[in-house]
Amino acid sequence: MSLFTLLMVFLTKYLVPVLFAIGLIYFLYGVIEYFIIGSGGDEERAEHGRELFLKSIVWIVLALIAHLLVLLIGWVGTLSFNPDINTPNSGIAPHVQESILQVPNAPSRE
């Protein structure tokens, strides 16, 4: 595997889910602080819960941006800049079989 592939796997499988998890933890803790503890009249805890809720939004937005960047980098990494290579992204029409009986790479009977 190439370094690019390993980096993409690391970002997709580990970094982005960790960012989402941090955002979710901040969100849940903020909801508990604001609605459950802060509703009892403790204004300081309610304000702290509100701040945690806003931080959770920031973490989730960061996770979404990181995920979109990983997708964009992965998409750009699959592009072919060599026009001689026939890849799905090169714009060259693929070879279409004329008959279902045509078997590619079959030995000839001659």
pLDDT digits (tens, 9 = 90+) for 90-105: 555 555 556 666 666 6
Q: Is the pTM of this model over 0.75?
A: no
Exposure b/e, 24-56, CB count within 10 A at least 16 = b:
eebbebbeebbeeebeeeeeebbebbeebbebb
Q: What is the CB neighbour count within 10 angstroms for residue 19?
A: 19
Amino acid identity of residue 34, one-letter, is Y
**Statement: residue 38 has pLDDT above 80:** no
Q: How confident is the model at residue 71 (pLDDT cuts 50, 70, 90)?
A: confident
**Residue 68's pLDDT is what?**
92
